[in-house]
Amino acid sequence: MKLFKRENLSDLLSVVGLAVIDVTAFLFQPLIGGLVTGLSLILLSYFLGKE
């Protein structure tokens, strides 16, 4: 008894791929946000310190 036909398997793979991309994006969002915030803070303090 075969559970997966070839078409079902490719559908499953695409669903899993999308889920993995979603999870990675969700996990990396705070990291990227933190980097952007850190960079803007560094730039701000640099420009304020220049004057």
pTM higher than 0.85, yes or no? Answer: no
Residue 3, pLDDT score:
59
- The model's pLDDT over 8-50, given as tens digits with 9 standing for 90+, comes to 778 888 889 899 989 998 889 888 889 999 999 999 998 888 7
Q: How far from each other are the two terminal CA atoms of the chain, in whole angstroms?
A: 76
Give the pair of three-digit tokens for residue 9. 């398997």
For the CA atoms of the chain, what is the radius of gyration?
Answer: 22
Residues 37, 48: Cα–Cα separation, whole Å = 16
